């Protein structure tokens, strides 16, 4: 069993290029774009409290009345967290991996409101916010795009949403999936990759992830880009949006916040919807999230479907329950795609763990555990991974 190389994945076999001269090699090499993806990034609440400019810690949750309580839980579990940390601290080992692997585009699901607003959403039990002056933590990792169609972007009301959008614009990070009206919420983020092509990024949310139905954006109404269902009508609406912006050589990523927090099963309607987006709407990569743990993934018609990327950065340390799923473990997904065809060329996943509000690269038993989970779940999708020499998980072919 061999790790998939770029050439091997495209052609179905490994190419021998040693007989080619430099000029011929350059001509033969197809352009590639590598995209960094991950699951939920929640820099609010407890994490906000250890950053240089914390919000008022007062919470309106039934289980915790101060965001400082989440800091205390994490410290009880894993030891003291220095305060204040610098803006780069939370990313830990991710920064070195990003520097070494040099992805062309960096994308996260930003699952928090970025605001000073005190206008919390009444009746909602979990509320995330990060102070806008802590937004440099996003630029510290050179994030390009934030998916915003999730169940926390409006936790602190419409003023909180407005400040979130304004803050991202100020720090030159593109957001997609939420806006001050429907047109803005539906608008894709477009990233030019010099000399290679473009990445078109669309963000959608589903009520199955806990997004309140009344958060849906509408004409003249702020909110998120909410899917009404997984029907063919929804597929065709997305197809129309893709056709409006897609040009030859573009890679189109659909980021979807869907499904529950726990459990490995993927609803059949989600799987069918993902496949129809590839078949009929021109989508090349599906970036699924909402689950608090890593789920299986599928390669369908040479397109990647990530059903659940898991949590990537949260303040959940020390919170008991659901330990079976190892929600503390996550993955950095490095997805390489050929712009000319939209085909997946390679997938590498770097195992991580959140400890002391920081991303830590893991190996040994934790990496093996993730490998085994992906292979167990991958049986139904006919996907398999193996650990490479660097301790990363690599998609393989039989």
According to DSSP, the β-strands at 329-337 and 344-354 are antiparallel
Q: What is the pLDDT of residue 398?
A: 56
pLDDT at 17 over 50: no
Average pLDDT for 299-320? 97
Containing 311, the helix (H) or strand (E) segment is strand 311-313
Tokens of 34: 């590598």
Where do the domains of the chain lie? 2-8+30-397
Higher pLDDT, 251 or 7: 251
Average pLDDT for 301-312? 98
Torsion of CA 210, 60, 118, 202, to 10 degrees: -20
Average pLDDT for 276-291? 98
pTM, full prediction: 0.92
68-102 pLDDT per residue, tens:
999 999 999 999 999 999 999 999 999 999 999 99
pLDDT at 254 over 80: yes
Q: What is the pLDDT of residue 7?
A: 35
Q: What is the pLDDT of residue 31?
A: 87
Measured between alpha carbons, how far is residue 63 from residues 131, 255, 261, 294, 327 in Å? 22, 31, 18, 26, 20
Q: What is the pLDDT of residue 29?
A: 58
Average pLDDT for 265-274? 98
Q: For residues 370 and 309, what is the distance between their CA atoms, to the nearest angstrom?
A: 12
pLDDT at 24 over 70: no
For 164, which DSSP code?
H
At 396, is the pLDDT very low, low, confident or very high (cuts 50, 70, 90)?
A: very high
Let me know the angle formed at the C-alpha of 148 by 180 and 216, rounded to the nearest 5 degrees. 50
pLDDT at 6 over 50: no
At 372, is the pLDDT very low, low, confident or very high (cuts 50, 70, 90)?
A: very high
Mean pLDDT estimate for the chain: 93
Q: What is the pLDDT of residue 20?
A: 33
Q: For residues 29 and 50, what is the distance between their CA atoms, to the nearest angstrom?
A: 46
At 397, is the pLDDT very low, low, confident or very high (cuts 50, 70, 90)?
A: low
CA-based nearest residue to 110, from 20, 186, 19, 224: 224
At 310, is the pLDDT very low, low, confident or very high (cuts 50, 70, 90)?
A: very high
Tokens of 357: 């509000």
Assigned superfamily of 2-8+30-397: Metallo-dependent phosphatases (3.60.21.10)
Q: What is the pLDDT of residue 389?
A: 92
């Amino acid at each position: 069993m061999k790790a998939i190389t770029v050439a091997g994945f495209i052609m179905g076999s490994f190419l021998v290029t040693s007989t080619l001269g430099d000029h011929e090699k350059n001509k033969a090499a197809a352009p590639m774009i590598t995209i960094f993806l991950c699951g939920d990034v929640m820099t609010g609440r407890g994490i906000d409290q250890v950053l240089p400019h914390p919000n008022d810690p007062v919470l309106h949750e039934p289980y915790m009345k101060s965001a400082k309580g989440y800091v205390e839980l994490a410290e009880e579990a894993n030891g003291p967290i220095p305060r204040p940390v610098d803006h780069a601290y939370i990313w830990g080992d991710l920064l070195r991996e990003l520097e070494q692997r040099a992805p062309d585009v960096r994308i996260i699901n930003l699952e928090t409101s970025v605001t000073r607003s005190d206008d919390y959403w009444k009746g909602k039990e979990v509320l995330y916010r990060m102070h806008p002056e802590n937004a440099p933590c996003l630029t510290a990792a050179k994030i390009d795009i934030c998916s915003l169609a999730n169940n926390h972007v409006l936790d602190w009301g419409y003023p909180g949403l407005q400040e979130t959008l304004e803050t991202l614009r100020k720090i030159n990070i593109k957001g997609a999936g939420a806006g001050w009206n429907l047109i803005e919420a539906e608008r894709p983020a477009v990233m030019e990759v010099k000399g290679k092509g473009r990445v078109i990024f669309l963000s959608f949310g589903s009520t199955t992830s806990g997004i309140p139905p009344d958060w849906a954006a509408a004409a003249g109404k702020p909110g998120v880009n909410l899917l009404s269902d997984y029907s063919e009508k929804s597929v065709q609406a997305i197809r129309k949006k893709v056709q409006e912006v897609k040009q030859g050589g573009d890679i189109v990523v659909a980021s979807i916040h869907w499904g529950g927090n726990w459990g490995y099963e993927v609803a059949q309607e989600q799987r069918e919807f993902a496949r129809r987006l590839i078949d009929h709407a021109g989508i090349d990569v599906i970036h699924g999230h909402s689950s608090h743990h890593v789920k299986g993934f599928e390669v369908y018609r040479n397109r990647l479907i990530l059903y659940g990327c898991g949590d990537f950065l949260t303040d959940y340390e020390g919170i008991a329950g659901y330990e079976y799923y190892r929600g503390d473990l996550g993955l950095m997904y490095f997805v390489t795609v050929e712009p000319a065809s939209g085909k997946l060329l390679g997938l590498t996943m770097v195992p991580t763990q959140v400890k002391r509000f920081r991303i830590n690269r893991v190996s040994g038993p934790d990496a093996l555990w993730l490998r085994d989970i992906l292979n167990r779940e991958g049986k139904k999708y006919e996907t398999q991974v193996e650990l490479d020499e660097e301790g990363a998980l690599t998609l393989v072919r039989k």
